[in-house]
């Protein structure tokens, strides 16, 4: 029996080591049983959107032109991986107005027969130390505890759920009925890239993504200005309350939300902040390059770090490269993950999918459409 889920997820990079790290493998073994509690935790509700979002019918329909420009990328005020702030120039490009939705991803799967990473049983040879009873297809899923927890122990709210995938975001008993206009989740990097290539598009670089997210407000803290909730208005789907056990849903959503539920930024882009994290094309590095000494030397269209420098040193038994993800999610909270800002960034292993990670695409063109 399936249950319908309404709007709803944030994992830090440590948790995204999936089943390969021996400690995490043990944690997942303990938490696996908690998957059975999902029906009780998320009672049957069906979200009714305020109108269907149509699929793009021509080349750049559903996309926004982002003009070229120079901006200050990163931040010196927050997490260390965001520093140093530095000037970067990007060429103009087209960007999807909102993250790829369940409706759009379903169309892609129907046309191509694509099977996501979360639907494939992993090969134990690729994950030394993997527990035999954990060899199953699944994905990382947010599971809120009902009591206070140590915020240093992410295993208290993340579980590797058997059968969790884009059609069943909270395990086999869930579905996406009524969520066509919500962002698709449980997509690994290769899934996002496959969709982009099928659509004749690409994934944005970190610089392109951050430039677009700022919406023309180069020095602002958020995509919409310097105040998180101007005049008390929630501008993005984030967590309100004591993470991870209490979400008071002041923004109206427990989990994911329709991709146009919140106001667009200055470029007309929705959900650049909150709702779901988004994949970028860049390999992760633990910090940015220093600012150019002269204006003539400002990097143009930078492509991030090197693959061989992107590995997490804490998982030395298995080397999985990591990409940069941006934007934060509906699980970002003031008491835990203040990454609901354009400058914020995080590492994500390319083989990992989660219940709070999606993507959007871009198309690069050399001429301004105007």
Condensed to tens digits (0 to 9), the pLDDT of residues 145-173 reads: 999 999 989 889 999 999 999 999 999 99
In a domain, 226, yes or no: yes
List the domain range (segments joined by +) for residue 233.
3-364
pLDDT reported for residue 127: 87
What ranges in 113-220 are assigned the alpha helix state H?
A: 189-198, 206-214
Q: What is the pTM of this model?
A: 0.85
pLDDT reported for residue 295: 80
pLDDT reported for residue 314: 84
In a domain, 370, yes or no: no
Condensed to tens digits (0 to 9), the pLDDT of residues 23-64 reads: 343 333 333 333 333 333 333 333 333 445 555 435 678 999
In a domain, 369, yes or no: no
In a domain, 85, yes or no: yes
CATH code, domain carrying 111? 3.90.1580.10
* 296 vs 302: which has the higher pLDDT: 302
Tally of domains within the chain: 1
- Rounded Cα–Cα distance for residues 325 and 347 (Å): 6
pLDDT reported for residue 369: 64
Helix (H) / strand (E) element for 23: namely: helix 22-31
DSSP state of 247: -
In a domain, 345, yes or no: yes
Average pLDDT, the chain: 85
DSSP state of 85: P
| pLDDT greater than 80 at residue 87 | yes
pLDDT reported for residue 208: 98
In a domain, 94, yes or no: yes
Helix (H) / strand (E) element for 24: namely: helix 22-31
pLDDT reported for residue 367: 60
In a domain, 298, yes or no: yes
In a domain, 192, yes or no: yes
Among 22-26, 105-109, 303-307, the minimum mean pLDDT is found in 22-26
């Amino acid at each position: 029996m399936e249950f319908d889920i309404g709007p709803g997820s944030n994992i830090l990079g440590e948790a995204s080591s999936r089943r390969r790290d021996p400690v995490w493998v043990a944690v997942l073994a303990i938490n696996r049983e908690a998957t059975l509690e999902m029906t009780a935790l998320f009672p049957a509700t069906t979200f009714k959107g305020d109108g269907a979002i149509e699929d793009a019918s021509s080349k750049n329909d559903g996309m926004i032109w982002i003009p070229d420009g120079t901006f200050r990328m990163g931040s010196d005020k927050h997490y260390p991986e965001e520093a140093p702030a530095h000037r970067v120039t990007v060429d103009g490009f087209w960007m999807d107005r909102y993250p790829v939705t369940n409706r759009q991803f379903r169309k892609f799967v129907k046309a191509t027969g694509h099977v996501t990473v979360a639907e494939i049983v992993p090969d134990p040879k690729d994950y030394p130390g993997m527990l035999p009873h954990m060899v199953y297809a699944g994905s990382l899923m947010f599971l809120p505890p009902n009591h206070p927890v140590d915020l240093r122990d992410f295993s208290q709210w993340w579980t590797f759920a058997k059968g969790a995938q884009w059609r069943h975001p909270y395990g086999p008993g869930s579905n996406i009925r009524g969520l066509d206009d919500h962002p698709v989740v449980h997509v690994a990097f290769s899934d996002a890239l496959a969709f982009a290539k099928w659509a004749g598009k690409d994934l944005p670089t970190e610089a392109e993504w951050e430039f677009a997210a700022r919406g023309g407000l180069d020095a602002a803290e958020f995509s919409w200005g310097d105040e998180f909730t101007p005049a008390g208005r929630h501008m993005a789907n984030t967590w309100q309350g004591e993470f991870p056990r209490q979400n008071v849903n002041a923004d109206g959503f427990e989990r994911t939300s329709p991709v146009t539920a919140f106001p667009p930024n200055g470029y007309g882009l929705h959900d650049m902040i909150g709702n779901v994290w988004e994949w970028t094309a860049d390999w992760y590095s633990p910090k940015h390059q220093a600012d150019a000494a002269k204006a003539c030397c400002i990097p143009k269209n930078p492509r991030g770090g090197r693959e061989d420098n992107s590995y997490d040193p804490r998982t030395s038994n298995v080397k999985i490269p990591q990409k940069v993800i941006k934007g934060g999610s509906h699980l970002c909270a003031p008491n835990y993950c203040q990454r609901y800002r354009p400058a914020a960034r995080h590492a994500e292993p390319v083989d990992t999918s989660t219940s709070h990670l999606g993507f959007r695409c871009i198309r690069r063109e050399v001429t301004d459409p105007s």
